[in-house]
């Protein structure tokens, strides 16, 4: 998990800048339902620093509060 967090931090997109590479978390849920949910979380380090994403290492849980429209 530490490697993932270091990678996220290294690939953080500075405000107002473009990036040649981006870090994306793909979250898939409701695997046992008729409609599977799929979310892409772009630049998770910035979201984490803004309080929109929480990553916990005890159980490898990733949750976020930002709603995509």
12 pLDDT more than 90: no
Predicted TM-score (pTM) of this structure: 0.61
What is the SS3 assignment for 15-50?
A: CCCCCCCCCEEEEEECCCCCCCEEEEEECHHHHHHC
7 pLDDT more than 80: no
59 pLDDT band (50/70/90 cuts)? Answer: low
What confidence tens digit (pLDDT) does each residue in 16-29 have? 888 888 888 888 99
pLDDT value of residue 40: 92
Domain segments of the chain as ranges: 2-11+20-64
Q: 62 and 55 in contact (C-beta within 8 Å)? A: yes
2 pLDDT more than 80: no
């Amino acid at each position: 998990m530490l490697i993932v967090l270091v990678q996220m931090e290294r690939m953080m997109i500075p405000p107002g800048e473009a990036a040649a590479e981006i870090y994306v978390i793909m979250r898939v849920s409701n695997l046992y339902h008729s409609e599977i949910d799929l979310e892409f979380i772009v630049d998770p380090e910035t979201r984490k620093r803004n309080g929109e994403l929480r990553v916990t290492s005890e159980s490898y849980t990733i949750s976020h509060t930002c709603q995509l429209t």
